[in-house]
Amino acid sequence: MNNYLKYLDDFLTFDEDDRKLWIRMGGVLALIVLLFSVFTTTSVFYYLERVLIAVMVIFLPGYLIMKLFLDKISFSDNRVADKIIVSFAISVVVMVVPYFLTTYLRPYAFNTDEEGMEALSRTHEVVLLLLLVVVIAFGVKFYQNKKNKAAAGNK
- Give the structural domain span for 34: 2-144
110 lies in a domain? yes
134 lies in a domain? yes
CA 43 – CA 57 distance, rounded (Å) = 22
The whole-model pTM stands at 0.77
What total number of domains does the chain contain?
Answer: 1
Residue 85 neighbours by CB under 8 Å, 6+ apart: 75
The answer to whether the CB of 125 falls within 8 A of the CB of 106 is no
- pLDDT of res. 86: 92
154 lies in a domain? no
Residues 76-125: tens digit of each pLDDT? 888 888 988 999 999 989 988 888 887 777 666 555 555 555 555 677 78
151 lies in a domain? no
CA 144 – CA 155 distance, rounded (Å) = 17
120 lies in a domain? yes
The answer to whether the CB of 63 falls within 8 A of the CB of 17 is no
- pLDDT of res. 62: 92
152 lies in a domain? no
113 lies in a domain? yes
135 lies in a domain? yes
